[in-house]
Chains A and B, each alone.
Chain A
Amino acid sequence: MALVEVIDVSKEYQNGEEKIRPLDGVNLTISEGEFVSLMGASGSGKSTLLNLVAGIDQVTSGTIEIGGADITKLSRGNLADWRAAHVGYIFQTHNLIPVLTAYENVELPLMLLPMSNAERRKRVEIAMAAVDLTNRADHYPRQMSGGQEQRVGIARAIVANPTIVVADEPTGSLDDDTTEQILTLLQRVNRELGMTLLMVTHDTDAASRATRQLRLERSELYENGKRLAARVLRTA
């Protein structure tokens, strides 16, 4: 069942005098429970596409439907509410809030959702346990390694049980061992929790851990070396 439908999406922005169009009529469908990796050269628009799906950037044209909701029609405030309930975002540089402990960082997205304190505590504990960081709950980001910070970032992304988790080069700033741990964790999130993942990466090994591997080149998406036809995608 199609969870994400990106239909004929273009994105254009101004860079000084120059008009840049990283995405031009892109189409993509992601089914529920898939783990999709998205590769491409620098400037190919893969991060732009990820940000559009995550609802933190606006399309120039086209529509994006996620779980039946056309997020391109939402106002800025409603889009924020939608993100709180439906998107988990994993950053390359973790982007934890430095003044909050690991527990508080994971708890932060839940502060935006209507739930009791007990429910919130339970969810945070489950997410912390899922990334195996229960014993680091009271640590601040500065007291943790890069890998631990990224695991907290993953816990923060999954804690609200979102419709889709997006990861922008989640292993880009980690060493090989830690990269392996994080990729294994993302696979577990997908397999054991059944969450849908869209991951942008430069790393082919990382991409190979996904259930679908896509490549974006000049606004065309390729899967297993074959270009995906727009109309096929639209009816997928």
Chain B
Amino acid sequence: MVGLLPYVLKTLWRHRTRSLLTISGAAVALLVFCFVGAVQHGLFALTESQGAGSTLIVFQENRFCPQSSKLPEDYSRTIAKLPGVAAVVPIKVFTNNCRASLDSIVFQGVQPEQLKEFRHLTLNSGAWDGFNRQGDGALVGHAIAGRRNLKTGDKFTIGDVTVQVAGVFQSSDAAEDALVYTHLDFLQRTRGQNEVGVVTQLEVHLAGGAEPDKVARAIDAEFHAGPVATTTRTKGMFQADTLSDLAELIGFIHWLGYACVALVLSLVATTTVMSVQDRIKEHAVLQTLGFRPFRVFRLVVTESMVLSTLGGGLGVAAGLLFLSWAGMSIAAEGVTIAFRPSWNIALQGVAASIAVGLLAGLAPGWHAARTEIVPALRHA
């Protein structure tokens, strides 16, 4: 069959306009497929990642937007004494847009030493010392830096918050790459905030063997009668709750991914059917020369698979390049979902293309293989 590959390729090239249109259609569909996959992957990474179940987030009770959650910072000292708690990280969140947006910027104010300890950040430029010394210094995720064209030393303003880039970082957690970290007290004191001693949330790191639910209940019970009641959830559950509307939407758009695959199936099948109808006589000639029906079937299926795989491969490559380059993310309520390319998405895309090519070629291949030779030879 490999020896006949040049014949398959030349056959596709004979109707190059039709083949190229089909390939480009498949490429666009698989690009969208990759995009949808990246969004779902981002959401999954956020809710299922390492730490999502072993870290708790304490938020003000019945508050959902980070702007409205105001917890006393000294709650952290009380929580730190509870059994099962290893450390507490007070975080002040500022975002320019509480609604779902592709271009919202999320600031998190964290004490520098805790930032270094609890976040796995690798600085692409700048230095920790510079950040520690600089009160208005900010460490900017490389996705935002790329999107906003920010470099170390640049100043930028979002809302009332003006910071100077002390470094650009990369994180193993893609969602972190879409964040801006500042000093906690800077974000508490900055113009328009004036919230010294108040934080948005407390991130509770559990000791080994601690039961998250039990510790969460203990925290909420501790502050139930206090000045500000709390709601404590695992980080994964907190992010899932915060993004619930968006998650539903993302859950729905997986159908868009299936629709893309169906579109490729329809496109490639149509092209292959047309190709077979154009070449009824040619297939009869091949059978006259001694091609077995099954070999003719395989030729047609191979044509279909080449079209689909070429188009799909191009779409997957373009999708992954675009996702890498654009550093896109969507944020809601201060929680960010990063759209990142992955080998898993690439493999799914290529596998879907091959499967669709196979499926699209079955019926036309069967038709070509079952052709009665003598009537087909009389075909104009």
A contacts, CB < 8 Å to B: 51, 54, 56-57, 76-77, 80-85, 87, 89, 91, 95, 97-100, 104, 108-109, 111-112, 156
Contact = CB atoms under 8 A, between A and B. Distances in A.
Contacts of A82: 290
A57 B288 CA distance: 10
Secondary structure class of chain A's binding surface, majority of residues: helix
B281 interface: yes
Nearest to A117: B3
Interface string B275-297: 00000011001111111111100
Nearest to B289: A109
Nearest to A78: B292
B290 A56 contact: no
A83 B7 contact: no
A85 to B, nearest CB: 7
A77 B293 CA distance: 7
Interface in B1-31: 3-4, 6-7, 10-11, 13-14
7 contacts: A80-B291, A81-B292, A89-B289, A97-B285, A108-B289, A112-B289, A156-B289
Contacts of B292: 76-77, 80-81
A82 B291 CA distance: 10
B374 interface: yes
Best-surrounded residue of A57, A99, A111, A156 (most CB of chain B within 10 A): A99
Best-surrounded residue of B4, B285, B293, B294 (most CB of chain A within 10 A): B285
Instruction: Pick the 6 closest A-B CB pairs, nearest first.
Output: A84-B290, A99-B10, A56-B373, A80-B292, A83-B290, A95-B285
A229 B356 CA distance: 59
Interface residues of B, number: 24
A172 to B, nearest CB: 14
Interface of B: 3-4, 6-7, 10-11, 13-14, 281-282, 285-295, 373-374, 377
Contacts of A100: 7, 10
Given A99-B11, A111-B4, A51 B374 contact: yes
A87 B377 CA distance: 17
B4 A54 contact: no
A156 B13 CA distance: 23
A84 B374 contact: no
Nearest to B285: A95
A112 B291 contact: yes
A56 B287 contact: yes
Given A51-B374, A97-B285, A85 B290 contact: yes
Given A56-B377, A104-B7, A156-B289, 7 more contacts: A51-B373, A56-B287, A57-B373, A91-B285, A95-B282, A108-B286, A108-B289
A99 B5 CA distance: 12
A99 B285 contact: no
A123 to B, nearest CB: 15
A112 B294 CA distance: 13
A112 B11 contact: no
B11 A80 contact: no
Contact of A54 (B7, B286, B288, B295): B288
A106 B354 CA distance: 32
B370 to A, nearest CB: 9
